[in-house]
């Protein structure tokens, strides 16, 4: 019995140190990648918006059709490629499928936070956390105050780090399918909040005058979804910690 516990502790300590190193390297990658992303955005703003970050966006309509610059299509793919790169990092460093997803969340969150930090270093923007920003343009423009994606990014980093921490301590972290459904639906509601004013943002021609200047943000949709997702995660993680049991030695590399 003593030998078995000794082997378990040695293996557990080795895996934990490896996970901590992986966490550190993921953070380093995300911070460096955020600089690249910020630099690209500065170049794009210089090309399309005279170096500014203000609304309205430069949108062209001809005969009732949205005229899309060929470079914008390249930008669409770049945004998708960015997410793929962050997913790939999580997939490489995670010890199991759950950790892979958590490392992706950490990479995404750190990348998003430092994206704004580096922009402020480069061009002194955003002026504050309530400054409006165009977050994504796939498939519709996602628009919101800077604080909204930063809050989501912080939650992703904390949640991913906590799960990896308890997973490395030997707790059997099992997220039920309906837990994922709840969290994903909360995420979907927050995306809807970002896209709520999309017709105004891209200035669709019609009887209603659309200025392209963001209207008040849909806090009524964003905040309940955000707060409920955090509360639900905290309750579920607490349940796992209270009822969880260390994983047998032979299953540590599952």
**Is 56 or 153 the better-scoring residue by pLDDT?**
153
Quick one: what percent of the chain has pLDDT higher than 90? 49
Place of tokens 């995404």: 108
Question: Exposure string (b/e) for 213-231, b if CB count within 10 Å is 16 or more?
Answer: ebeebbeebbeebbeebbe
**What's the average model confidence in pLDDT over 54-58?**
73
Tokens in use for 185?
Answer: 């639906």
Query: What pLDDT does 63 receive?
Result: 59
Choose from 10-14, 53-57, 83-87, 200-204 the range with maximum mean pLDDT: 83-87
Length of the chain: 254
Measured CA angle at 77 (ends 212, 186), to 5 deg: 65
Confidence of residue 138 (pLDDT cuts 50, 70, 90): confident
Averaged confidence pLDDT in the chain: 83
**What's the average model confidence in pLDDT over 132-161?**
92
Query: What pLDDT does 52 receive?
Result: 64
The total of other beta-carbon atoms located within 10 Å of residue 189's CB is 17
pLDDT at 87 over 90: yes
Query: What pLDDT does 43 receive?
Result: 87
Q: Which residues contact 66 (CB under 8 A, 6 or more apart)?
A: 59, 60, 202
Domain positions in the chain are 12-251
Confidence of residue 74 (pLDDT cuts 50, 70, 90): confident
Using CA atoms, how far apart are residues 183 and 201, in angstroms rounded to an integer?
A: 28
Q: Residues 71, 88, 99, 106: is their CA dihedral positive or negative?
A: negative
Cα–chain-centroid distance for residue 101? 12
**Is 108 or 76 the better-scoring residue by pLDDT?**
108
């Amino acid at each position: 019995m003593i030998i078995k516990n000794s082997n378990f502790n040695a293996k557990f300590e080795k895996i934990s140190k490896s996970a901590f190193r992986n966490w550190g390297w993921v953070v380093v990658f995300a911070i460096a990648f955020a600089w690249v992303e910020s630099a690209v955005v500065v170049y794009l703003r210089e090309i399309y918006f005279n170096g500014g970050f203000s609304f309205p966006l430069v949108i062209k309509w001809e005969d009732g059709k949205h005229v899309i610059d060929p470079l914008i299509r390249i930008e669409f793919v770049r945004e998708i490629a960015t997410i793929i790169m962050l997913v790939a990092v999580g997939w490489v460093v995670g010890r199991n499928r759950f950790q892979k997803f958590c490392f992706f969340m950490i990479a995404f969150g750190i990348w998003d936070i430092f994206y704004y930090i580096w922009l402020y270093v480069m061009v002194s923007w955003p002026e504050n956390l309530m400054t409006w920003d165009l977050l994504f343009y796939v498939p519709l423009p996602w628009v919101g105050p800077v604080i909204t994606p930063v809050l989501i990014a912080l939650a992703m980093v904390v949640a991913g780090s906590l799960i990896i921490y308890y997973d490395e301590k030997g707790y059997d972290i099992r997220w039920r399918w309906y837990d994922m459904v709840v969290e994903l639906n909360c995420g979907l509601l927050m995306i809807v909040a970002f896209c709520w004013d999309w017709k105004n943002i891209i200035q669709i021609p019609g009887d209603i005058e659309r200025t392209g200047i963001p209207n008040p943000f849909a806090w009524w949709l964003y905040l309940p979804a955000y707060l409920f997702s955090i509360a639900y995660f905290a309750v579920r993680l607490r349940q796992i910690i209270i009822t969880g049991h260390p994983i047998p030695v032979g299953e540590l590399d599952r």
